[in-house]
Amino acid sequence: MSLTMLDEIKEKFDNSKLPFIVNFTDFNKIDEEFYQKIKPDLFPVGWEVKKLGDVSPFKYGKGLPESKRKKGVIPVFGSNGIVGYHDEAFIEKKGIVIGRKGSVGQVNISKSHFWVIDTAFYVDDVLNNDMFFIYYMLQTLGLEHKNSDAAVPGLNRDNAHNININLPPIDIQKKIAGVLSGYDDLIENNNKRIKILEDMAKKIYKHWFIDFKFPNHEKTKFKPSELGPIPENWEVKKLGDVVDLSIGRTPPRKESQWFSNSEGVKWISIKDIGLSNTFIHKTSERLTCSAIKKFNVPIIKKRTVILSFKLTIGRVAITSEDMCSNEAIAQLPIIDNVISNEYLYSYLLDFKYESLGSTSSIGKAINSKILKDMPIVVPDSCLMDIYSKLSSSLIDNIRVLDLKNETLKNTRDMLLPRLISGEVDLKNVEVKV
């Protein structure tokens, strides 16, 4: 924590009406005598303070360009998680991956053999400690804020190794890991179910609207269109004729008062869409209500399809509540129910965006005019109704599982720092490990 931030916090306490004095100090800089005096109040009996590097030393990953990767099942980790697969492991056991460049401080774990490229550190030896406890503990250290001052920011290994950590006995480590991994196991199982439902929805869409094997298709007559033969009672329209397209906005970045992490309206970025499933629930930032009003930021209504069309083109999601977005994302509310949300979502997922122009012209962005002129196949209303009823049940089940996962994640994230710090005592609690 910076001195400026400490001064700001101290000033707020000094100006408050609290009936006691609050003092701050840097835990990593206190002298040994003072530490021994306050140690009994810091954490439970049996816990120790150690340097991170003495418990889980960070090792450097090894470069593996995409061109040199061979088809296989070994996950290849970068700073932000799995970036591909290979037929050979660099680390032949389970281990932890920590982002060094790019997604600095992001922590992932591999439960089996894996490869780590040179944008990340890895930990494969926790020196008689519990690997999963170390994995969860690393997430509480704020490593993402420990960029070095180099020209290319990154996590400095020496700085990380010098961090003091509170280390419980091994039996408590296993209990803490058991509680937290229980939540992660439930989340993983729900994600598998979501994947099955998403695959089912994709197969139905492809079978009906790409292969034209919809109910009673045998007697269908076809006609030519700009997108190829389609059933004669279908149409090809412009996207702008079936949706009321509008674009998000970004207030001035230098004016921090318009942005928040916890209050206001959730503000969607392309990265947020990439981290979501079919529905988007969580955003890394919010806009204050004042920002929404001052900059006339369009509100995206609940259950509206959104599409990224700049930088990363073609990411699609459905909003789970009223939200807003930046200018790289378009919201696509449907006009007069001419198609369904489920159909639009699937159509945009399957669409080949390179068909809108040359690779060079659409490599990083397409403008709103191109988007509005984008062709979309509109099936007949009878078939659309049948498809909507079938697909909406799948989408609703996905939404329910997504919401369950959000609840599980929130509970896990609330427990994480309390367990790692020893605030929640598991000494006399039975935990499956």
Two domains, one topology: 52-167 and 235-378 = yes
The fold adopted by the segment(s) 235-378 is Adenine-n6-DNA-methyltransferase TaqI; Chain A, domain 2 (3.90.220)
pLDDT for the residue 396: 93
CA 215: distance to chain centroid?
38
pLDDT for the residue 359: 44
SS3 286: strand
The tokens of 28 are what?
Answer: 């990593």
pLDDT reading at 383 higher than 80: yes
Q: Residue 360 — very low, low, confident or very high, per pLDDT cuts 50/70/90?
A: very low
pTM of the model: 0.79
> Which amino acid is located at 208 in the chain?
W
> Which amino acid is located at 332 in the chain?
L
pLDDT for the residue 188: 95
The average pLDDT across 399-425 equals 93
Q: What is the largest CA-CA distance in the chain?
A: 89
What does the alpha-carbon distance between residue 364 and residue 328 come to, in Å, rounded to a whole number?
A: 10
N-terminal to C-terminal alpha carbon distance within the chain:
35
Q: In 321-429, at which residue ranges do the beta strands (DSSP E only) sit?
A: 324-325, 329-331, 375-378
pLDDT reading at 40 higher than 70: no
User: In 10 A of CB 391, how many CB atoms?
Assistant: 21
What secondary structure letter does DSSP report for 210?
I
Give strand pairing partners of 335.
Answer: none
pLDDT reading at 9 higher than 70: no
66 within 8 A of 105, measured Cβ to Cβ: no
Q: State the sign of the Cα–Cα–Cα–Cα dihedral 27, 147, 420, 48.
A: negative
Classify residue 330 as left (phi > 0), alpha (psi -120 to 50) or beta.
beta
Percent of the chain with pLDDT over 90: 72
Residues in the chain, how many? 433
pLDDT reading at 14 higher than 80: no
The pLDDT tens digits for 142-182 are: 898 877 655 567 898 998 999 999 999 999 999 999 999 99
Please report, for residues 42, 140, 143, 260, the alpha-carbon distance to residue 415 in angstroms, rounded to integers and kept in the order given: 18, 11, 19, 23
The tokens of 183 are what?
Answer: 């939540």
Domain spans, the chain: 3-42, 52-167, 235-378
Backbone angles phi, psi at 422, to 5 degrees: 90, 0
Q: Residue 348 — very low, low, confident or very high, per pLDDT cuts 50/70/90?
A: very high
pLDDT reading at 97 higher than 70: yes
Between 367 and 221, where is the model more confident?
221
DSSP string of 158-199, one letter each residue: HHHHT-EEEE--HHHHHHHHHHHHHHHHHHHHHHHHHHHHHH
The average pLDDT across 231-254 equals 95
Backbone angles phi, psi at 282, to 5 degrees: -120, 140
Which architecture does CATH list for 52-167?
Alpha-Beta Complex (3.90)
pLDDT reading at 222 higher than 50: yes
pLDDT reading at 28 higher than 60: no
